[in-house]
Amino acid sequence: MNPLLSLTIMSRSVCNSWLLHRFVDWRDRARRTRRRGLLMARPAHVRLSFSGTMGLNLPAPEAFSFTLSSARTAPLTQSENDAVAAAAVSMFAQADSLISSAAILKEVKSAFLDPTGRYTAGERPVITHVDQAGSTGGAPNAPQVALVVSLGTANPKVRGRFYLPMPVVQLNRSDLLILGPIQELAADSYKAFVANVNLSLDPPPATAGHVCVNSKFGGGVNERVTQIRLGAAVDTMRSRRRSLKERYVVRPLP
């Protein structure tokens, strides 16, 4: 083979290999940058976690948990976390909350999360242990059944929700929806719960640290919750039914 032709082929091979290596390197860096961008999309916030067990007669009781977010820019103190726990205990203790006596609140935890969703360096979650069962008697639904409380903000595109465990509800036989008066009283109970959490996080007239919806919208926002909505259909702990037409009770928050 002509030495000049051989050298040309070898040069092209080396060039193609170098280009392929550069492309793979560029692709991997782009993926890492995009992944970091997704992690950085939510602003820093405080996550409030409420957890416990369901089913007094089960061999191994199932666990439940639900969370709220706060726009606080610093971790809660122990006394503030205790006050948030007291708000949850008060809700569980009210029969109007519709939470079964078989659901027991065990722990309330708060943690300050940075924009990547991780604990900040050196910070540990603040935990308050409680032992409060729901106060509604009667036969509860299966542990997977829940009531969904929707959270509205001033921005209609930023919404949230949390799931309350094991409701004891009386349903209308014709449409399988919660009877009106019960729904109204439950909505009042959940509004009081969120309002009491707000008082624990940031006493009036301040509102900056109130319960919020932590969202990726617009590059990341903490939108303060301005209302709660309770639908008339029971749901499950892991999904929300969307096809069932139902009526909502809306309660504004101050």
- pLDDT for 38: 46
Two tokens at 34? 């995009």
Task: Per-residue pLDDT tens, the chain, 254 aa: give them.
Answer: 555 555 455 555 545 565 666 665 666 666 665 555 444 478 999 999 999 988 766 666 788 999 999 999 889 999 999 999 999 999 999 999 999 998 999 999 999 998 877 887 677 899 999 999 998 887 666 667 888 999 999 999 999 999 998 888 877 777 677 877 889 999 999 999 999 999 999 888 888 889 999 998 888 899 999 999 998 888 876 655 555 566 789 999 97
Domain coordinates in residue numbering, the chain: 40-56+68-252
C-alpha span between 76 and 13 (Å, rounded): 61
Rounded to 5 degrees, φ, ψ at 138 are 90, 175
- Nearest in space to 123 (alpha carbons), one of 76, 158, 80: 76
Amino acid at 238: R
C-alpha span between 125 and 109 (Å, rounded): 6
Rounded to 5 degrees, φ, ψ at 174 are -80, -35
